[in-house]
Amino acid sequence: MVLAENLSGKAVMGSDGTELGTLYNITMDLKTGELNDLLIEPNLEVSNDYETDEENLIHVSVGSVQAVKDYIVINQ
């Protein structure tokens, strides 16, 4: 089990080894409790490679998460 408080600020890496940025937050459906998206503060190197919202955050579906260890690894 991984507590949400331990995830904030954790580095996020793509399955190809690219470090995407840092986990900022996680969105969820308040009615069902289902987790929706990871909100990632992008590294400067990848900020132009991904679509960002008005707060300059990358949204990645929670379903893309492959592993949570030293990094959060997402399938690209």
Residues 6+ apart with CB under 8 A from 2: 68
Q: What is the pLDDT of residue 4?
A: 66
The H or E element spanning position 57 is none
Q: What is the pLDDT of residue 2?
A: 60
Tell me how many domains the chain contains: 1
Instruction: Provide the CATH number for the domain around residue 15.
Output: 2.30.30.240
pLDDT tens-digit series, residues 46-72: 767 788 899 999 999 999 999 998 899
pTM: 0.84
Tokens of 22: 């840092």
Q: How confident is the model at residue 3 (pLDDT cuts 50, 70, 90)?
A: low
Domain limits for position 69? 4-74
pLDDT tens-digit series, residues 27-45: 999 999 899 999 999 998 7
For residues 54 and 23, give the distance between their C-alpha atoms in angstroms, rounded to a whole number: 17
